[in-house]
Every structure is written in structure tokens, then in C-alpha cells.
Amino acid sequence: MKLCDMHTHSDNSFDAKSTVDELCQAALGNGLYAIAITDHCEAEYINMGEDCEFGSFDRLIPQSVRDINSAKEKYKDRLLVLRGLELGEPIHDPAQTKHALEYADFDFILASVHNLRGYEDFYYLDYKTVDVNELLRRYFDELIETSNFEHFDSLSHLTYPLRYIVEREGYYPDLTPFQEQIDEIFKTLIKNKKALEINVSGLFKPIGRTLPDIELVRRFRELGGEYVTVGTDAHSADMVGKGIEQGIEVARAAGFTHYTIFREHKPELLVFDNYSW
């Protein structure tokens, strides 16, 4: 089975430390077939330039693309290196989003929601003082909007806030009240031929499951989901490829016969037949 990590960050992301070359070396060392470098680009902060806590995306993303292009050349025939981008909150600023998509001819775009309109990243919220159900209702609403956005390939880390709720408050919220919203997200992805990401970072955190977990991946499949991508969300080279096999196993157990990579935004299916590890 070809192993592909479709979500990694280089030192061109404010919160990551390994170079693109180090990520690729790790991918080769772990026997991966493909790696997508998907550095952060938060649409609503692009126009802040260097005054932004993330650094200037106008500087960082073109640098990311140059580094990826060098790696593509260096590792050709040995490793498929894909030009990716993790586009944060595209619906918060459509004009800047359009600008971001013009940085390069990307292979693969992840769409993410790390913060709600007018809020900080879920990472910074104090879950003792917010109404968690109201927060999640708004989160899934923004994801419905995001899933209707045209220019992306895979919806990243659905249930992201739960990572922090479990970590800080020690419980996994009941998602039953949000099933209708989640179904709408899934139906929109399916209608628009987009993928759902199985983000395996949660396997190594207190939440202990993929984002989203197998129940939701199964629901996506039941509704007719065709494409899932699997990514580690590695922010350092030592995490590249870690947990990809478990992510693929989640897809298989949820009823998928394949998982997917994207090249020039076109889905390529990696079929599970005859695989072993």
C-alpha cells in the first residue's frame, strides 16, 4: 500500500520548525510514496503583512512554494512532493483568499476553520467560560459555509475544537445535537466532489482519536462520500507519516475501498486491495 501524508507544515509556517527538505527526508525514511507540504495561510490576516503574529503570508507562502519546487526536483523519481496549502478561514475574507490562491499552481488545498468570526483560535479559548454547545453550533455553521466554498480539495480536521475541549475539560462532547449540521457539511462536500480529511494528529494527543473519528467518517461514507485524504498535520519532521497507517485503517473500517491524493487538484485513488503492513 502506498503511504501518503497529505498534511504537513514546514518552517514556513509560524508554528513549525523543520525545513521542507527535512520533511521530505523523513518521508523517504518512513517509506512514504507522497507528501503534501501544506503551510498555513490564514486569509483574514494576509493584509496585516509582517504585523501579524503569523508573519507575512506574502513572504512565507512564496518561500514555501520555492522550497517545495526545489524538493520536487531533488526527490523526483523517489518521492512525490505536492504543492499544498492549508487555507484557514477562507470564508472570512474572500478577496484575500483569492489573493492567496494566486501564489502558485497548487496541487492540493486544505480548507480549515481554526477560529470563528470575531474569535481567537480554539486553542486560546477558555472552555470554562464559553457555552460549549453554542460554540460548536457556530463552528459547524461556519463549516457548512466553508464546505460551500469553491476553491479547495479537502476539508481539514473536522472536530478541531474537540481536541482542546478534551485536553482541558476532560470530556468528549456529545455531537448528537449537531448531526444535522454535520450531515449538511458532508452532503455539500459530496455534491461538490470534495474530500474529507482524516487528520491523525489526535491519535497522539489526549483526544486519542482521529479528527474526525471513525463514526463520522463512516457517516460520510454512508451518505455517499467518495474521497478521503489522510494527513498527520506534522509540525516537525519526526511526526511525518506517523499514524498514516491507522488513518488508512479508519477509512477502510468506515467502508472505503480507497483513499485519495490530489495532484493538480485532481483526485487519484489509492485502492486498498492487496495491501499489507
Considering only 42, 86, 107, 197, the residue that binds Zn ion (CB under 5 A) is: 86
159/260 with CB nearer Zn ion = 159
For 200-217, give the DSSP string.
GGGGGSTT-S-BS-HHHH
As measured in angstroms, the least distance from the Cβ of 265 to Zn ion is 19
Beta strands in the chain (DSSP E): 4-8, 34-42, 80-88, 108-112, 154-155, 195-199, 228-231, 258-263, 266-271
Considering only 97, 112, 159, 188, the residue that binds Zn ion (CB under 5 A) is: 112
Query: C-alpha cell of 176?
Result: 448528537
Query: C-alpha cell of 217?
Result: 467518517
Q: Binding residues for Zn ion, how many (CB under 5 A)?
A: 3
As measured in angstroms, the least distance from the Cβ of 48 to Zn ion is 19
As measured in angstroms, the least distance from the Cβ of 112 to Zn ion is 4
Give yes or no for a contact between 259 and 228, defined as CB atoms under 8 angstroms apart.
yes
Taking the C-alpha atoms of residue 27 and residue 45, their distance in angstroms, rounded to an integer, is: 31
156/260 with CB nearer Zn ion = 156
233 lines the binding site for Zn ion (CB under 5 A): yes
42 lines the binding site for Zn ion (CB under 5 A): no
86/213 with CB nearer Zn ion = 86
Omega prior to 62 cis, within 30 of 0: no
Which is nearest to 231 in space by CA: 258, 189, 197?
197
φ/ψ of residue 125, rounded to 5: -75, 150
85/251 with CB nearer Zn ion = 85
φ/ψ of residue 269, rounded to 5: -90, 135
5 lines the binding site for Zn ion (CB under 5 A): no
Q: Which one of the spans 107-115, 138-146, 185-193, 260-268 is the region binding Zn ion (CB under 5 A)?
A: 107-115
As measured in angstroms, the least distance from the Cβ of 276 to Zn ion is 30
Instruction: State how far Cα 25 lies from the chain centre.
Output: 21
As measured in angstroms, the least distance from the Cβ of 201 to Zn ion is 8
Q: Which one of the spans 119-127, 132-140, 162-170, 229-237 is the region binding Zn ion (CB under 5 A)?
A: 229-237
Dihedral of CA atoms 18, 20, 22, 26 in degrees, nearest 10, equals: 110
Q: Which one of the spans 50-58, 85-93, 98-106, 186-194 is the region binding Zn ion (CB under 5 A)?
A: 85-93
226 lines the binding site for Zn ion (CB under 5 A): no
As measured in angstroms, the least distance from the Cβ of 38 to Zn ion is 6
Interface contacts to Zn ion, rule CB under 5 A? 86, 112, 233
